[in-house]
Copies of this chain bind each other. A is one copy, B any other.
C-alpha cells in the first residue's frame, strides 16, 4: 500500500532524509499496519530522533504521532531528584497498566499502544467510556494515559477505583502532548484542561520543592506500598525536564512473582533490574527489617516457580489467564486477529454470555500460552540434563 504514497512527503513529514526512510524500511524498523480503513507506518525501534512506537498515518495529512518516550528511573531518591529537577516538582501516582496514546485521525478516535499499533480492544473501550471532544477542539494533541484494571489484555491488575458494572477497567490520562513534537503541556495547564473536559486523570499527590521531594516521596512510597500500588512519577511543573519514576517494594515483588510463574519465558534482565531496585531501596530506606524484604523477594522467586512445576507435573499447562468483556463476537474476532498479528499465542478457555444494563455481552477467559516454560519444565521433570 505504501507504494501509492509519496515517499518524499513521508520523509519530509518525519523530518528524516529519503535515504534514511528507505534504510528504516530495509532494516525492518518501519512496518506497515492497517486497522479498518486506517493505514499507517509504525517505527518498531527508535530511529534517529523518532521514538519507538512513532507512527505516520497514510492519509492526506500524513499525520504523525510520536512514540511515548521512555521514562527514566531514579535508583536513589536522594540526590537523584534534587540533581535532576529545576525547582518545584509534582509527585503523581504511577498506575500499573499499559501506556496508551489517544488521537483523532480520519475523524475517528483511536488508541495507539506503546509499540505503535491501533489496539481494537482499547479503541472500543476509550470510545465507550470517554467523551473525547477535547480532540475535536485540539486535534494536534494526544492524550497519554494508562489503561488499568483487572479486565485488560496486557497488564491485568485490579484497581478498586475502576470497578464498573461488568468490568474492572479504566483510563487515566497523565500527560497531554502535541502529537507531532512530543512537547507536553505544563502540569497545571494539563490539569485544568482535563477538568474542563471532565476526563479521568491522575492528580498530583503533592507539589513540593525538589530539595525536600525525596523525603516526601519516601513517605508516599511507604503508603502506596502498604496499599499494594505501583509507585510515583515525579514531574517538572513546566515539563521542561523529563519525568522520573520510582516504584514500591510491593510492585517489585509482584513483578518477580509474575516473571517466575513463567520462568523460562521471562528475560533474565527483568529479574536483575527488580532485585537491584530493592538493593538500593533497602540501603536508602535504611531498613530496620531487612529480613522481611529478603523474605518477600525470596518468596516472590521460589513460590511461583514451585507452583508452576507442580502444575506441569499434574499434567496442567501453565497459562496466564485474562478475562475480557466484548460487546459482540465480531469484537472478539477482531481482538483475536490483532493478537495473532502481534504473534501472541493465546487460547480461549471459556466464553460466557452475560446480561448487562446495556444488553448481552461476552465474557471471555483467554489463556496466554508460555510454551517455553511448559516445555522446559516438562523436559526437566522427564530427566533432561542441563548443559552448562
Residues of A within 8 A of B (CB): 70, 72-76, 79-80, 82-84, 244, 260, 263, 268-269, 271-273, 275-276, 278-280, 282-283, 287, 290-291, 293-299, 301-303, 305-306, 309-310, 313, 380-388
Q: By the criterion CB–CB under 8 Å, are B302 and A278 in contact?
A: yes
> In the docked arrangement, what's the CA distance between A263 and B75, Å?
15
| Selected contact of A298 from candidates B75, B260, B294, CB within 8 Å | B294
* Contact among B79, B260, B276, B283 for A383, CB-based, below 8 A: B79
Interchain CB contact under 8 A, A386 and B73:
yes
Instruction: Given A291-B299, A299-B298, verify A382-B310 contact (CB < 8 Å).
Output: no
Please give the distance in Å from A380's CB to the nearest CB on chain B. 4
Known: A70-B388, A76-B381. A302 touches B279 (CB 8 A): yes
* A271 and B273 contact, CB distance less than 8 A: no
With CB as the reference atom, state the residue of chain B lying closest to A301. B275
Measured between C-beta atoms, what is the minimum distance from A114 to chain B in Å?
Answer: 13
Q: How many copies does the complex hold?
A: 2
Contact of A276 among B263, B273, B385 (CB under 8 A): B263
Q: Which residues of B contact A268 (CB under 8 A)?
A: 268-269, 271-272
Among A282, A283, A302, the most chain B Cβ lie within 10 Å of the Cβ of: A302
User: A263 contacts B279, CB within 8 Å?
Assistant: yes
In the complex, what distance in Å separates the CA atom of A302 from the CA atom of B380?
28
CA distance A278 to B76 in the complex (A): 31
How far is B298's CA from A298's CA once the two chains are assembled, in angstroms?
4
Cβ contact of A294, chosen from B280, B290, B302, cutoff 8 A? B302
The smallest C-beta distance from A290 to any residue of chain B, in angstroms, reads 7
Are A299 and B294 in contact, with the CB atoms below 8 A? yes
The answer to whether B269 touches A385, judged by C-beta atoms less than 8 angstroms apart, is no
Interface centre among A79, A263, A269, A279 (most CB of B within 10 A): A279
What is the bound-complex CA distance between A298 and B271, given in angstroms? 13
A329 to B75, CA, bound (A): 45
- B84 touching A279, Cβ below 8 Å: no
Chain B residues with CB under 8 Å of A271's CB are 268, 271-272
Given contacts A70-B387, A385-B72, A385-B80, contact A306 B279 (CB under 8 A): yes
List 6 A-B pairs, Cβ < 8 Å.
A75-B385, A268-B268, A275-B305, A283-B310, A287-B306, A295-B295
